[in-house]
């Protein structure tokens, strides 16, 4: 019964993904020859034609990846390979916590390696075809190796500690496990810009001048006193642009992609930064942290219940009560259910985006600079300006530029 339910959910999600991709492709093609007036105002005909081509190419690629991921998940879950690999790990290292952590790390590495060809194709074929890829093969390989080292150096000790809590805390291990993981994530918010991000990108202070003075004045005016404004060399990997802030409290930092600085005028950069500050001033960060904490606590409680159950591990060939397999099965299969919650989470995220846009409009005294920035970024990123509503509901955490502009000038 368990395997039948899992198989049904897997097929149902794949069908939904492929149908959503097909609906979105049909919607893009429907507007290809005659874009709506709001879209025509954002992009010239040549750029819009390239955006249509990019959107359709991404949809075709995503459909292939979705089908492949479903096939891989079905293979590892139903073939019996996961329990077959689990038994030998008990002979490789002392103690259940070590064995379980090594097992989870090994499975994670194998699954990541399987997806590498698609990662390479997306970067060096699809993104390159449309002029976005800036990375070299050497840099791409270096990124993967650094990620592997971080996974082993950070992920393994964290998983070992989580599994060890069963012995230390007994039946209440999941409460302490949640506290450990969430505390680590808060610490990571502070350490990431200092220790992790510099391993992949070079961060330099924004040079003295009118732009820096303008952005710092905006930060002071809006009550967002950051310690520094840094520029990240995002251009060495992609032509896409972004801006964000990291950390919290006195550890807060503003980060701008160098591509963003090269693409936008000072007034537009000010508006983009005001939008990011709007997320902070409207309390979106603590709200999302609270939601994440609630979901993680629920996830740990569910894993603890599943590990105690007589049916989950047995259905997939694992020893009853073993915690590492319960974590693995939860990680592999939870997406079959949470996929259907994506529209809810995306709706909340889009509400936050509208609120941040409204804050930016007030901070820069009008919608013009942010509207201009959105139009430029839509052209540079070849954004899909006519997605199908169902597709955007499942996949878009941000409103489309057309929707954001409509709200800004309303």
85-93 long-range CB contacts below 8 Å, 24 or more apart?
86/318, 86/319, 86/322, 86/324, 86/325
- In sign, the C-alpha dihedral spanning 330, 336, 337, 341 is positive
- Beta carbons within 8 Å of 331's beta carbon, 6+ residues apart: none
Dig out the tokens for 338 from the structure: 């949470």
- Beta carbons within 8 Å of 376's beta carbon, 6+ residues apart: 263, 264, 268
Can you tell me the distance from the alpha carbon of 208 to that of 221, in angstroms, rounded to the nearest whole number? 19
Given 69, 357, 403, 405, which residue is catalytic? 357
Residue burial 68-96, b: 16+ Cβ < 10 Å; e: rest: ebbeebeebbeeeebeeebeebbeeeeeb
220 is catalytic: no
Nearest to 57 by CA among 30, 21, 33, 17: 21
What 8-state DSSP symbol labels residue 154?
I
Phi-psi region of 209 (alpha: psi -120 to 50; beta: other; left: phi over 0): left
Given 127, 270, 276, 403, which residue is catalytic? 276
62 is catalytic: no
Phi-psi region of 403 (alpha: psi -120 to 50; beta: other; left: phi over 0): alpha
Residues annotated catalytic, as ranges: 276, 357
């Amino acid at each position: 019964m368990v395997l039948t339910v899992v198989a049904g959910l897997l097929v149902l999600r794949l069908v939904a993904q492929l149908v959503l991709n097909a609906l979105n492709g049909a919607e893009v093609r429907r507007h290809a020859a005659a874009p709506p007036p709001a879209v025509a105002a954002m992009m010239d005909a040549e750029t819009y034609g390239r955006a249509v081509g990019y959107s359709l190419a991404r949809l075709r690629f995503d459909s292939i990846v979705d089908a492949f991921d479903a096939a891989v998940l079905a293979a590892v879950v139903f073939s019996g390979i996961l329990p077959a690999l689990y038994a030998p790990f008990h002979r490789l290292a002392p103690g259940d916590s070590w064995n379980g952590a090594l097992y989870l790390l090994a499975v994670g590495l194998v699954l990541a390696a399987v997806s590498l060809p698609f990662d390479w194709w997306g970067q060096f074929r699809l993104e390159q075809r449309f002029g976005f890829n800036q990375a070299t093969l050497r840099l791409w390989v270096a990124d993967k190796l650094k990620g592997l080292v971080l996974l082993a150096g950070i992920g393994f000790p964290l998983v070992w500690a989580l599994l060890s809590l069963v012995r230390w805390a007994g039946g209440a291990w999941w409460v302490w496990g949640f506290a450990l993981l969430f505390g680590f994530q808060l610490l990571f918010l502070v350490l990431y810009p200092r220790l992790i991000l510099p391993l992949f990108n070079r961060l330099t202070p924004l040079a003295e001048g009118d732009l820096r003075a303008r952005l710092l004045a905006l930060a002071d005016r809006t009550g967002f006193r950051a310690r520094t404004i840094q520029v990240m060399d995002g251009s060495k990997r992609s032509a896409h642009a972004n801006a964000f802030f990291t950390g919290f409290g006195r550890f807060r930092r503003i980060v701008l992609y160098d591509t963003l600085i090269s693409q936008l005028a000072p007034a537009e950069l000010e508006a983009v930064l005001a939008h990011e500050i709007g997320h902070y001033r409207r309390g979106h960060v603590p709200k999302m942290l609270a939601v994440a904490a609630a979901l993680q606590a629920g996830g740990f409680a569910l894993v603890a219940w599943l590990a105690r159950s007589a049916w989950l591990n047995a259905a997939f060939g694992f020893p009853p009560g073993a915690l590492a397999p319960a974590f693995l099965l939860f990680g592999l299969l939870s997406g079959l259910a949470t996929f259907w919650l994506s529209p809810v989470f995306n709706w909340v995220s889009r509400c936050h985006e509208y609120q941040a846009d409204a804050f930016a409009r007030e901070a820069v005294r009008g919608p013009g600079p942010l509207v201009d920035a959105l139009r430029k970024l839509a052209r540079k990123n070849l954004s899909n300006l006519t997605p199908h509503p169902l597709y955007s509901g499942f996949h878009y955490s941000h409103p489309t530029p057309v929707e954001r502009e409509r709200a800004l000038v309303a």
